Amino acid sequence: MSTPLKTILLEQIATSGPITFADYMAQCLMHPEHGYYQKERVFGQDGDFITAPEISQMFGEMLGLWLADRWIKMGKPSPVHLIEFGPGRGTLMADMLRAISPVEGFTDAANIHFIETSRQLRKLQKEQVPNAKWHDSAASLPDGPSLIVANEFFDALPIHQFEKHKGEWLERRVNAEGETFTLVLTPPSAKLALIPEKLKNSPEGSILEVCPAALSITGDIASRISDGGGAALIIDYGYRTSAAGDTFQALMGHAFTDPFAEPGKADITAHVAFDQLNQAAKEKGVATFGPAAQGMFLMALGMGARAQQLSNTMDPIGQQRILSELKRLTASEAMGTLFKVLALQHQELPEAPGF
């Protein structure tokens, strides 16, 4: 099926030749008019996918308490920047703020910042968290001590793909034949240099991915923490140790679909390479913890006890719901293992809880 964005992309390819996966992905997600994240309903039961904060309030509560603990260990700086990358509907921040409200002084000290490019989602976020400040990127954030979260943000950042062909690494680009997108192998862009050397020994026909934006944003977060103090939690699904493979995927109506079928209509993501993020962070001088499996992390922070406490006040239907939310977030066969948590923090902070 054609979409307005498909017409634009086909024209672009006709004029300037095949485009990188990164260019394709960035336009599908972030095109200011036809990009996926400009859609009204992306998350939740009636959207295309559901994220942890949309499954349960307990997710944000645990993360909020982790941040509150770090704030206390930092010596309760005021002001402190409470920063979220890619806040979606604003649910996670709203849940975190509720959970931290009993921590004396924290709410008053916190200046809330959202990094969000979608104008549509900014509107939803404003309903949940009216006193936030919005930024297109981290570049406009003020200096100072920072507590940072990013849930399912890094998987939306554009990747490049390379394929080994006759012993050489070539870049996979998106081309078109008539109205259909096709893939072509072309000389690699300079981004090939970002792929870890050990992966380049992968056999003929292997596909490697790299996400330059994820590496640079992780580096920026780490520099901010090294310079101004603080801590960050990066939560996403992906590799503990990066490996060859094609993880470029699209979701529509909670089912996988062809990422090239209806550009702008489906969510497109790629697995996050946690080892590469970890490396990028360490190079900027922060301490890192994990990645831990999401289930282990949340249980270590006390989500089991929180579920019990909530259940105690509920009727049997409510109790069933809480139990099922707990399972979805923590069980291995659900989000518990595929999703991982990486923490970055200033070298002087005591060990991060949950790892």
Q: Which residues bind ligand SAH (CB under 6 A)?
A: 29, 37, 43, 51, 53-54, 86-88, 92, 115-118, 121, 151-153, 156-157
Question: Residue 109 or residue 251: which is nearer to ligand SAH going by CB?
Answer: 251
Question: Nearest residue by C-beta to ligand SAH?
Answer: 86
Question: Residue 118 or residue 218: which is nearer to ligand SAH going by CB?
Answer: 118
Is-contact 191 209, C-beta < 8 A? no
Q: How far is the CB of 59 from ligand SAH (least distance, A)?
A: 8
The alpha carbon of residue 162 and the mean position of all alpha carbons in its chain are separated, in whole angstroms, by 22
Question: Residue 115 or residue 199: which is nearer to ligand SAH going by CB?
Answer: 115
Question: Residue 150 or residue 199: which is nearer to ligand SAH going by CB?
Answer: 150
Please report the DSSP string for 309-345 in residue order. Answer: HHHHTS-HHHHHHHHHHHHHHH-IIIIITTEEEEEEE
Q: How far is the CB of 169 from ligand SAH (least distance, A)?
A: 26
Q: How far is the CB of 50 from ligand SAH (least distance, A)?
A: 8
Q: How far is the CB of 177 from ligand SAH (least distance, A)?
A: 30
Q: How far is the CB of 178 from ligand SAH (least distance, A)?
A: 31
Question: Residue 229 or residue 263: which is nearer to ligand SAH going by CB?
Answer: 263
Q: How far is the CB of 253 from ligand SAH (least distance, A)?
A: 16
Question: Residue 23 or residue 54: which is nearer to ligand SAH going by CB?
Answer: 54
Q: What are 272's two structure tokens?
A: 């996050």
Q: How far is the CB of 156 from ligand SAH (least distance, A)?
A: 4
- Torsion angle, CA of 146/353/338/231, rounded to 10 degrees? 10
Is-contact 224 211, C-beta < 8 A? no
The letter for the amino acid at 51 is: T
Burial tier of 155 (Cβ tally within 10 Å: 0-12, 13-18, 19+): buried
Is-contact 120 39, C-beta < 8 A? yes
The letter for the amino acid at 28 is: C
Question: Residue 117 or residue 337: which is nearer to ligand SAH going by CB?
Answer: 117
Residues 6+ apart with CB under 8 A from 88: 42, 43, 51, 53, 54, 121, 124, 125, 151, 152
Tell me if the bond preceding 291 is cis, omega within 30° of 0: yes
Report how far residue 69's alpha carbon sits from residue 142's, in angstroms, rounded to the nearest whole number.
23
Question: Residue 35 or residue 229: which is nearer to ligand SAH going by CB?
Answer: 35
The letter for the amino acid at 240 is: R
Q: How far is the CB of 312 from ligand SAH (least distance, A)?
A: 28
Report how far residue 31's alpha carbon sits from residue 263's, in angstroms, rounded to the nearest whole number.
10
